[in-house]
């Protein structure tokens, strides 16, 4: 499958077959890495890594993934370039596009990554914006496939802030790939209606079922996976007390897991975790192997995205 030159801004832009291709490529690259085999598909390629927001997994994944495939990553923090301050995003994009072969962006406004893609002329990859976090979803799906051997037909529950970038992106990914998706959250934190309608269309094609509920008992019944994320996203710290109050009933704990009716339910978290808030320490530690597989898989899936869209031998 040829994804050369494509941007990776949101999973809305990719078909189920293309997403499956990226997951299969990631699994192959992961297996190769475990055998000590790395590639050179990015040899001679220079990649700009723009970070408005700090990061552990995204930065490390892009850096290692790039080096493993023979490329050169250049970290550009918020104090290193003038993105959107002394220089417009459009002009920065045109400069970087002349010097780099690919650009990763992790920041606040989604429109900034869209401008980079429009004006740079090189593949641009979204390392996280306020609206979407598509590379995380690929890592999550690779982890689900490793755990269950499939995606289609799984019952997946996202518990917490359903309208943050993770809630949005998981709903898009699940509805495209035939995974039954439940948003378990207070109604005020459900995704925007416009995005829900779009995902209902994807779900009709894939056979996925979408559910939105405030009821914990109804939400987690039959869950194969319960997924959670921090209650307060970066940039929303002033809403901390309000979020803690309304999300407390949606904490992933032993009591919630007992309501699934399954012994095989796994818990996932995109990290970093605030243990004692969205997830209890005991449940986190019992699922730590899965959660840190998920963290490791950021690297393999991000590498697959770079290889597929920019590499010479994908």
Q: Mean pLDDT across the stretch 137-141?
A: 98
Q: What share of the chain is helix, strand, coil (3-state, %, to 5)?
A: 50, 15, 35
CATH topology for 136-294?
A: Rossmann fold (3.40.50)
Distance CA 109, CA 177 (A): 27
Give the per-residue pLDDT at 239.
Answer: 84
199 is annotated as an active-site residue? no
Active-site choice (229, 243, 269, 300) = 229
Question: What's the number of CA atoms in the CB half-sphere (13 Å) around residue 72?
Answer: 7
HSE toward the beta carbon, residue 312, CA cutoff 13 A:
11
Contact between residue 227 and residue 143 where contact means Cβ atoms under 8 Å apart: no
pLDDT over 90 for what percent of the chain?
Answer: 93
Is 133 noted as a catalytic residue in this protein?
yes
Name the strands in the sheet holding 102-106, side by side, starting at the edge strand that comes first in the sequence.
72-77, 46-51, 102-106, 124-128
Taking only the tens place, the pLDDT of each residue in 143-168 is 999 999 999 999 999 999 999 999 99
CA 159 to CA 141: how far, in whole Å? 17
Query: From CA 210, how far away is CA 204, in angstroms rounded?
Result: 10
What confidence score (pLDDT) does residue 164 get? Answer: 95
Instruction: List the single range of 83-87, 133-137, 147-151, 244-248 with lowest mean pLDDT.
Output: 83-87
Catalytic site includes residue 101: no
Binding site, by residue number, is 55-58, 82, 106, 133-136, 165, 229, 233-234, 270-271, 298
- How would DSSP label each residue in 61-101? HHHHHHHHTT-EEEEEETTTS-BTTTB-HHHHHHHHHHH-S
Statement: residue 50 has pLDDT above 60:
yes
State the helix-helix crossing angle for 165-177 and 16-34, rounded to 10 degrees: 100
Which residue ranges make up each domain of the chain?
A: 11-133+298-310, 136-294
For 11-133+298-310, CATH number out of 3.40.50.10860, 3.30.70.141, 2.60.34.10, 3.40.50.1370 equals: 3.40.50.1370
- Which residues neighbour 54 within 8 Å (Cβ) at sequence distance 6 or greater? none
Could you give the dihedral angle defined by the CA atoms of residues 132, 136, 137 and 140, in that order, rounded to the nearest 10 degrees?
Answer: -150
Active site residue 94: no
Query: Would you state the pLDDT for residue 313?
Result: 65
Determine whether 98 is an active site residue.
no
- For 243-262, the pLDDT digits (tens) are 999 999 999 999 999 999 99
With 80 as the cut, is the pLDDT of residue 278 above it? yes
- Percent with pLDDT over 70 in the chain: 99
- Per-residue model confidence as pLDDT tens digits over 58-71: 999 999 999 999 99
Can you read off the two tokens belonging to residue 63?
A: 């850096």
CA 110, 212, 298 angle in degrees (round to 5)? Answer: 45
Q: What is the mean pLDDT of residues 5-32?
A: 98
Residue 82: predicted pLDDT: 76
Mean pLDDT of the chain: 96
Confidence of residue 100 (pLDDT cuts 50, 70, 90): very high
Indicate the annotated binding residues for L-ornithine.
165, 229, 233-234
Is 136 a catalytic site residue?
Answer: yes
Pick the catalytic residue from 6, 163, 243, 298.
Answer: 298
Which residues fall in the annotated binding site for carbamoyl phosphate? 55-58, 82, 106, 133-136, 270-271, 298
């Amino acid at each position: 499958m040829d994804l050369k030159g494509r941007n990776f801004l949101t999973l809305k832009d990719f078909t189920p077959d293309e997403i499956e291709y990226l997951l299969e490529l990631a699994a192959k690259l992961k297996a190769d890495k475990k055998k000590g085999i790395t590639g050179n598909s990015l040899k001679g390629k220079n990649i700009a890594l723009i970070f408005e927001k700090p990061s552990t997994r995204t930065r490390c994944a892009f850096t290692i993934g790039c080096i493993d495939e023979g490329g050169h990553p250049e970290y550009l923090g918020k104090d290193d370039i003038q993105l959107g301050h002394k220089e417009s995003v459009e002009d920065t994009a045109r400069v970087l596009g002349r010097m780099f072969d690919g650009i990763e962006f992790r920041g606040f406004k989604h429109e900034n990554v869209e401008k980079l893609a429009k004006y740079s002329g090189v593949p641009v990859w979204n390392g996280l914006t306020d609206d979407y976090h598509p590379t995380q979803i690929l890592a999550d799906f690779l982890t689900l496939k490793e755990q269950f051997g499939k995606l289609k037909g799984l019952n997946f529950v996202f518990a917490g802030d359903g309208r943050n970038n993770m809630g949005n992106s998981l709903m898009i990914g699940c509805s495209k790939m035939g995974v039954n998706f439940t948003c378990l959250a207070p109604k005020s934190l459900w995704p925007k209606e416009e995005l829900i309608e779009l995902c209902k269309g994807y779900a009709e094609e894939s056979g996925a079922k979408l559910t939105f509920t405030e009821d914990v008992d109804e939400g987690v019944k039959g869950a194969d996976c319960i997924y959670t994320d921090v209650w307060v996203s970066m940039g929303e710290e002033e809403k901390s007390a309000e979020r803690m109050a309304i999300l407390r009933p949606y904490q992933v704990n032993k009591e919630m897991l007992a309501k699934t009716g399954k012994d095989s339910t796994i818990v996932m978290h995109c990290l970093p975790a605030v243990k004692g808030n969205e997830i209890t320490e005991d449940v986190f530690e019992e699922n730590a192997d899965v959660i840190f597989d998920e963290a490791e898989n950021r690297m393999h899936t991000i590498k697959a995205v770079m290889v597929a869209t920019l590499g010479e031998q994908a």
